[in-house]
């Protein structure tokens, strides 16, 4: 279960549509990603999470799969994927694919079969009621398009029928609700393992699992879903013990019990993740009006339950959230990264966040993106045509580029010593050089008070302890602290001062110190 490479893993999330277009059709592809592996390594990242790249009608950017076993032609072929795994491994990178176990596209052939009146191998692949007039309570459904007399539950958008893993406690009065041990749900789970086996054999190193907490229905405490993932864990332990699993669940106390190595804190769920960067007064904003205390209280609660093996991952963002730079600018972004790259858990950097790429306002929704579309615009590489993303005509781009003349690019920021990109690289290098800053090293919060700044914590491994001091606000801040600041490892803006049993932190500053043993 313990997975060695995860202790030092630093992930880079790639939204394949928007990363690099190698064949001038306006959309990113696998060969484009291969061309940019060196860039990812140069950041210091050593792992990639790739959003779905499987065959799909793309009504939800690929989270609506119509064939789990083939790469979508717009990204390339299965051979390209194999090459991506090989090249990544040669460069010391691990690759996680995105596994979407909860639903398919309604264009999947399983769903077409499942819609038929006559019983067949896929009749029970999805969650169907026994009458078109009966909707599955609380779930949303597809109805009125099948020969079969029933309504099919959906998971997210109404074109994403829910795969059937059974109900935790089926209602005996509703005969259509199957239990987890019925044949249909069991077959769905076995097929899921086949899909995982297929890509793991090809060379993938694990999966980010979409909506991992919602597979079993009528399962408010997640007990059935935890059991299901424990079953998958046994399969992986037997066949692919090195495979890494990260869940989109947002409740580490549950997901880690289910055998996941890592869980994300997300913009939904109980984690208070939004308090950090994405609420009207985020803690990391220079206004200094935010409150970190609820986040820390919940974090510590999950941290205790997660035990020493589980990783709680705090992403810089992802393809579903506003860009980090939407709410934070300038120095605030740097201090946010000093936090992200000094916390336990595996860091996940969403492509372009390392440059402070902007959320592009006012875009028409692309492939079910809606408000998320502005966070999915093309990567900004340089000052050539289309910022080096693609040589297609601008109107052919999958999503328009950030049109600002000030838009950050990799090229510009590499040249500028004090750029965010260089800061991020420096922070990553520091994390890699110090075991106390790595993924499993322990954390102890020293100061994280209600409606107060700064934030201070200790990270410690067997042989070292590092003090992290963060003051995102535009005012100097102090807190009671008797520690002697000896060996400075990193600082941003003015250094802290020690006075009368207090540490005084300059406005918008960050500093890391190694403490004497």
Residues of this chain that bind ligand NOJ (CB under 6 A): 60, 63, 100, 156, 210-211, 248, 319-320
> Shortest gap between Cβ of 441 and ligand NOJ (angstroms)?
29
Give SS3 for 456.
strand
Residues 6 or more apart whose Cβ sits within 8 Å of residue 495: 488, 506, 509, 511
Q: Which is nearer to ligand NOJ, 10 or 61 (CB)?
A: 61
d(CA 198, CA 329): 43
**Residue whose token pair is 């207090």:** 502
Query: Least distance from C-beta 141 to ligand NOJ, angstroms?
Result: 16
Pure H helices in 28-171:
30-35, 37-43, 78-90, 109-114
Q: Are 200 and 81 in contact (CB under 8 A)?
A: no
Q: Which is nearer to ligand NOJ, 63 or 490 (CB)?
A: 63
Instruction: Give the pair of three-digit tokens for residue 195.
Output: 């899909």
User: What tokens were used for 16?
Assistant: 């394949």
Least distance from C-beta 210 to ligand NOJ, angstroms? 5
In this structure, what DSSP letter does residue 213 have?
G
The DSSP letter of residue 441 is S
The closest residue (CB) to ligand NOJ is 63
Neighbours of 415 (CB within 10 A): 11
Omega prior to 454 cis, within 30 of 0: yes
Nearer to ligand NOJ, 371 or 403 (CB): 371
Which is nearer to ligand NOJ, 248 or 354 (by Cβ)?
248
- Is residue 268 within 8 Å of residue 400, measured between CB atoms? no
Q: Which is nearer to ligand NOJ, 60 or 291 (CB)?
A: 60
Could you tell me the smallest distance in angstroms from the CB atom of residue 85 to ligand NOJ?
22
Tell me how far, at minimum, the Cβ of 157 lies from ligand NOJ, in Å. Answer: 7
Q: Which H or E element spans position 466?
A: strand 465-471
In the bound complex, what is the minimum distance in angstroms from residue 151's beta carbon to ligand NOJ? 20
H or E element at residue 414: helix 410-415
Q: Between 264 and 381, whose beta carbon lies closer to ligand NOJ? A: 264
Least distance to ligand NOJ, CB of residue 249, Å: 11
Cα(404)–Cα(427) distance, integer angstroms: 28
Q: Is 111 or 512 the residue whose CB approaches ligand NOJ more closely?
A: 111
Residue 475 beta carbon to ligand NOJ: minimum distance, rounded to whole angstroms:
37
Sheet holding 311-313, edge to edge: 311-313, 262-264, 244-247, 206-209, 94-99, 47-50, 11-14, 348-350
The nearer residue to ligand NOJ, 130 or 320, going by C-beta atoms, is 320
């Amino acid at each position: 279960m313990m997975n060695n490479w995860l202790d030092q893993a630093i992930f880079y999330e790639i939204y394949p549509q928007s990363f690099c277009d190698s064949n001038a059709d306006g959309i990113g592809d696998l060969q484009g990603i291969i061309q940019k592996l060196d860039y990812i390594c140069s950041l210091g990242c050593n792992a990639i999470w790739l959003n779905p790249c499987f065959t799909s009608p793309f009504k939800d950017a690929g989270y609506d799969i119509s064939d789990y076993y083939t790469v979508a032609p717009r990204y390339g072929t299965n051979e390209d994927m194999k090459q991506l795994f090989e090249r990544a491994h040669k460069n010391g990178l691990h690759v996680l694919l995105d596994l979407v176990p909860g639903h398919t596209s309604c264009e999947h052939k399983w769903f077409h079969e499942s819609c038929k009146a006559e019983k067949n191998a896929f009749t029970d692949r999805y969650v169907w009621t026994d009458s078109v007039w009966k909707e599955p309570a609380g779930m949303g459904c597809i109805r009125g398009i099948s020969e079969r007399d029933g309504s099919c539950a959906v998971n997210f958008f109404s074109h994403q029928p829910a795969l059937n893993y059974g109900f935790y406690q089926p209602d005996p009065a509703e005969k259509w609700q199957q239990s987890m041990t019925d044949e249909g749900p069991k077959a769905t789970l076995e097929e899921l393992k086949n899909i995982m086996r297929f890509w793991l054999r090809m060379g993938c190193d694990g999966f980010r699992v979409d909506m991992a907490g919602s597979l079993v229905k009528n399962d408010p405490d997640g007990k059935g879903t935890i059991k299901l993932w424990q079953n998958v864990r046994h399969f992986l332990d037997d066949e692919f013990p090195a495979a890494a699993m990260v869940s989109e669940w947002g409740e580490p106390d549950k997901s880690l019990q289910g055998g996941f190595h890592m869980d994300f804190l997300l913009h939904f769920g109980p984690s208070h993740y939004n308090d950090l960067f994405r609420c009207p007064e985020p803690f990391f904003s220079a206004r200094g009006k935010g409150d970190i205390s609820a986040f820390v209280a919940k974090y510590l609660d999950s941290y205790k339950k997660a035990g020493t093996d589980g990783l709680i991952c705090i992403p810089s963002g992802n393809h579903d959230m506003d860009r980090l730079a939407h709410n934070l600018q300038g120095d605030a972004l740097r201090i946010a990264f000093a936090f992200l790259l000094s916390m336990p858990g595996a860091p996940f950097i969403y492509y372009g966040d390392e440059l402070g790429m902007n959320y592009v306002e006012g875009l028409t929704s692309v492939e079910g993106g809606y408000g998320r579309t502005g966070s999915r615009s093309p990567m900004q590489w340089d000052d050539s045509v289309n910022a080096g993303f693609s040589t297609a005509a601008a109107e052919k781009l999958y999503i328009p580029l950030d049109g600002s003349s000030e838009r950050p690019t990799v090229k510009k920021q590499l040249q500028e010593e004090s750029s965010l990109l260089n800061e991020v690289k420096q922070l990553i290098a520091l994390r890699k050089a110090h075991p106390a800053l790595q993924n499993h090293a322990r954390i102890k919060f020293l100061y994280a008070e209600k409606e107060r700044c700064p934030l201070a914590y200790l990270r410690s491994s067997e042989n070292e302890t590092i003090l992290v001091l963060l003051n995102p606000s535009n005012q100097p801040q102090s807190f009671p602290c008797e520690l002697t600041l000896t060996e400075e490892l990193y600082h941003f803006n003015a250094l802290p001062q020690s006075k009368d049993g207090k540490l005084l932190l300059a406005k918008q500053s960050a500093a890391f110190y190694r403490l004497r043993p």
